[in-house]
Structure 1
Amino acid sequence: MTPRSGRQLRIAAHGYEAVIASVGASLRSLTHEGRDLVVPFAADEVRPGYRGTTLAPWPNRIVDGRYEFDGVEHQLALTEPARGQALHGLLSWAEYADRVIEDDRVVLVAVIEPQTGYPFRVEVETEYRLDENGLQQTVTARNLGTDAAPWGTGPHPYLVAGPSTGSGTQSPPVDEWTLLLPASAVLTVTPDRLSPVAVEPVSEHPEWDFQTSRPIGDVFIDHAFTGLSRTDGIAEVRLVTDAGTGVAMTWDERCPWVQIHTADNPGFDDIHRIGLAVEPMTCPPDAFNSGTDLVVLEPGAEHSADWRIRAL
């Protein structure tokens, strides 16, 4: 029988191994020489939340699930009911079909059919490819309809730096990892619903300033960051243990934003702060309303973005 997370597509190359689950085109596991680089989940398990899924046609939240596009108001289902928001797009629980299956590469595809709240037909293709530099995911959207469509995307992996060895404390793994986040600005949010408020310098919020690498400690993060410094157009987030193992995630200018989340689940020690969500995004939260960095797909047009995870 098909596992609860869908068909299991395993690729391997250069000491890396990844398993992609067909439901949500989800990165179920990624290892290098046997070491976890992301928080995995079991094949025959309903994927925990959005762990490893592909976010489309928007990442993060649309406030109240309402937006106006091209003069028409739309109402989406509130998939984050406790906060009254439309969260992480429409394909997280969709079954993707195979387009290419190779030893080191898979390409999956799903179509967003016109529906209440998003009356646009968009094909979403996601490629996972392994090489000596780790795992690259590329997401390509193609507008199959006759109207322009709003679009945004991003991934949702929870990165794992590795086991800590130096302190001997009982603190959660994330607390002991060191983070480098080259972002000069943060999008502040309301404490109850995480709705966007304003983009502000991280210098005004030193608890979220990781432009210089430092331990995360017990700080709570569930924010979008921008103002990314880059080398040759590439931004890089690095997560390292006190033992020197680590993981890096990189992306180019097509993702001017990144969401960081410390996976806070107080009262659930088995999942509380066990990984750090690093989500490069083509647009910020609620971009369908603000229009900030929103991609508008004209009929027949396509848009691609990619990101990479590698071991340190």
Structure 2
Amino acid sequence: MSALSGTQHLLRAGDYEASIASVGASLRSLTHAGRDLVVPFAADQVRPAYRGATLVPWPNRVVDGRYCFGGAEHQLALTEPSRRHALHGLGVWLDFEAVDKGADNVELHAVIEAQSGYPWRLGVWTRFWLGPEGLRQTVRAENLSAEPAPFGTGPHPYLVAGPSPLDDWTLELPAASVFHTTEDRLLPTRLAPVDADDPARFDFRMPRPIGAAEIDHAFTGLSAHRVTVLDPTGTGVAIEWDAACPWVQVHTADLPGGGAGNRAGLAVEPMTCAPDAFNQARYDLDLGLVVIHPGETVEASWLIAAR
């Protein structure tokens, strides 16, 4: 019987070691010279929230789980009941099958079957591979249906810069704009310059300590597709991604009431689209919704590396 997080795929290359869990095609751990680069979880553990999961066929939230596409109304299951949204897609609890495996790489595959709320079938392939530059992941999705399908993807790692508290880490986030949200339900409201409202919370174009800032927002207007966090001890970690992801969600992992895991890592989630992109028609800005036509394939990629 496999572990609760599914089949484990251990990858090694030089000083890097990664463990990929098949449930949700999840990055369970990543180390460099024995140092954690992401917040890990145990193999025989139900994955905490979305830690390390591959997010398909949408990242982030669909507000109220409701959207209109192709002239039809759709209602998704509300997987974030406290805020009443559909969160992080349909692939996060699928058991991905290994279709190719080497000492330093693995390719996983799953099918998102047509279902209530998302009546399209997608084939999803994701490859993880380690090299001298770090761990790269590529996600490729193919529309196996007869009609165009809305789509988005992204990863959900919680980066760890080093042994100091998150408040002491230096963050470099080269984004010019932030998507503001309501405090209670995180409903997207407006896009604004990072230095226009509360720059101490949102403007990290020049590297500086995170401090007490509480962030759970999407950013865009990127001058570089990269986020870096550094610990005062001199260690650090970076994630960089390709142009397929013009948005990035950053979350300081604040938990209600604090407790174990509170601000344990910095979630950095490159995204092919903004929050609530399935409801593009509601907004006066381009949210980056991807539409995959029948038989068409789309791809996105990112890399996590020690600094």
Correspondence for 1:81: 81
1:220-254 Cα offsets, whole Å, 9 max, x none, are 00000000002xxxx11110011110001001211
Please name the residue that 1:280 is paired with.
270
Gaps of 5+ in 1: 165-172
TM normalised by structure 2 equals 0.96
Aligned positions, number: 300
The 5 Å alignment of 1:53-132 reads 53-132=53-132
C-alpha deviation, 1:174, in angstroms: 1.1
Could you tell me which amino acid in structure 1 is paired with residue 295 of structure 2? G
The secondary structure found in structure 1 opposite 2:195 is: helix
Superposition TM-score, scaled by structure 1 size: 0.95
Q: CA separation in 1, counterparts of 2:189 and 2:14?
A: 44
Matched, 1:221 2:215: yes
Shift of 1:266: 4.1
- Give 1:157's aligned residue: 157
CA distance in structure 1 between the partners assigned to 2:189 and 2:99 by the alignment = 41
Q: Encode CA deviations 1:68-101: one digit per residue, 9 max, x unaligned.
A: 1111110000000110100000010110011111
Q: What is the rounded CA distance, in whole Å, between the counterparts of 1:120 and 1:54 in structure 2?
A: 19
CA distance in structure 1 between the aligned counterparts of 2:262 and 2:8, rounded to whole angstroms: 26
- CA deviations 1:252-309 (Å, max 9, x no partner) are 2110000000000143432010000000000000000016211110000000000000
Q: What's 2:288 paired with? A: 293
Provide, for residues 106-142 of structure 1, a one-character-per-residue CA deviation record: whole Å limited to 9, x for no partner.
Answer: 0001101000000000001110010000000000000
The reply on whether 1:138 has 2:152 as its aligned counterpart is: no
Deviation of 1:163 after TM superposition, in Å, equals 1.0
Give the equivalent residue in structure 1 for 2:248. Answer: 258
Matches of 2:51 and 2:76 in 1, distance apart?
22
| Counterpart position of 1:167 | none
- The SS at the match of 2:19 is strand
Residues in 1 aligned to 2:34 and 2:256: alpha-carbon distance in whole angstroms: 29
Question: 1:244 corresponds to which residue?
Answer: 234
- SS of corresponding position for 1:204: coil
> Distance in 2 between the 1:20 and 1:252 partners?
22
Structure 2 residue aligned with 1:302: 297
1:55 counterpart letter in structure 2: L
1:299 match: secondary structure: coil
The code of the aligned residue for 2:46 comes to: V
Matching residue of 1:209: 203
**Equivalent residue for 1:194, pick from 165, 182, 186:** 186
Q: Secondary structure at the match of 2:191?
A: strand
CA RMSD of aligned residues (A): 0.8
Identity of aligned residues (%): 60
C-alpha offsets along residues 199-238 of structure 1, whole Å, 9 cap, x if unaligned?
10001130210000000011100000000002xxxx1111
Name the CA distance, whole Å, in 2 between partners of 1:160 and 1:110. Answer: 29
Q: Which amino acid aligns with 2:183?
A: P
Alignment partners' CA distance in 1, 2:242 and 2:178: 18
